[in-house]
Amino acid sequence: MPNRIFFFSDIDDTLIQTRRKTDFTKSTIVGGYNKDGEENSFFYEGTKLFIDTIIDSNMMFIPTTARNLESYNRTIFSKDNRIKYVILNFGGVILVDGKIDKTWEENIIQSYSRIMSIEKLNELLADALKTTKVELVIKIIDNFYISIYNKFNLDDKGILDEVKHILKKIINKYSDFYLYENDNSFALLPHFLNKKFAVEYLIKEHKPILTLGAGDNNTDLDFMNLTDFKIIPQKVSIKIHS
């Protein structure tokens, strides 16, 4: 019998968290590694047991993450051959049995052909950031979007507000893009690059009888609102308004 229940779940800060955010007074299990092969992300034991129970049941667990393939491959999820579908790059990539879904890929390519290039946006961003002396790590990720990471002044709200103000001015001027915020990082993404569209695609393709969505960020609500049930960890930034 095919899996008829789909569980779409964000990974970072929903299932695993960085060393800095982990309470090691609780029992933990390694969930991911950095580029040097060092442990840097952790499950709480109960969370890992929950996910293993989901995967072992008649339910399709689908990681739904902003991570790209290289970063995803440094998590333990990538080693689990029970996971059939994976959504990466904020929904820009869908993997099926480890291979790129070509239909979805073509849809994304066509969408990018209709907007300003990410390289051009990056040039405009660099010019706008000349007004600040804040040291940031800025990268174009797989030519999908621009990542802006406040690596050297963690949790400095003044700096975060300054950077956010500049980024908002850019997206107000270039309306093809929106601003993603998460802790000490930001991203500039085209509007079609959103997990909800990839989730919607898989739901339409496979017509599960029940869907669940889990996430920790307000932007995760976009895809979670497509599902029948929402799962939200405690002590996260997500806000549901009644």
Output the CA torsion sign for 233, 234, 235, 241. positive
Model pLDDT for residues 19-73, shown as the tens digit of each residue: 999 999 999 999 999 999 999 999 999 999 999 999 999 899 999 999 999 999 9
**Residue 242 banded pLDDT, cuts 50, 70, 90:** very low
Determine the average pLDDT of the residues in 140-154: 90
Model pLDDT for residues 152-188, shown as the tens digit of each residue: 876 677 888 888 999 999 999 999 999 999 888 999 9
* For residue 236, pLDDT beyond 90: no
> How much of the chain exceeds pLDDT 90, in percent?
82
**Residue 239 banded pLDDT, cuts 50, 70, 90:** low
| Overall pTM surpassing 0.85 (yes/no) | yes
Determine the average pLDDT of the residues in 223-237: 91
Determine the average pLDDT of the residues in 109-136: 92
Sequential DSSP letters for 93-148:
EEEETTEE-HHHHHHHHHHHTTS--HHHHHHHHHHHGGG-----EEEEETTTEEEE
Q: Which domains can be identified in the chain, with CATH numbers?
A: 5-92+194-231 (3.40.50.1000), 114-190 (3.90.1070)
Nearest one of 174, 198, 200, 179 to 189, comparing CA atoms = 179
Judge contact between 64 and 9, C-beta under 8 A.
yes
Determine the average pLDDT of the residues in 15-22: 94
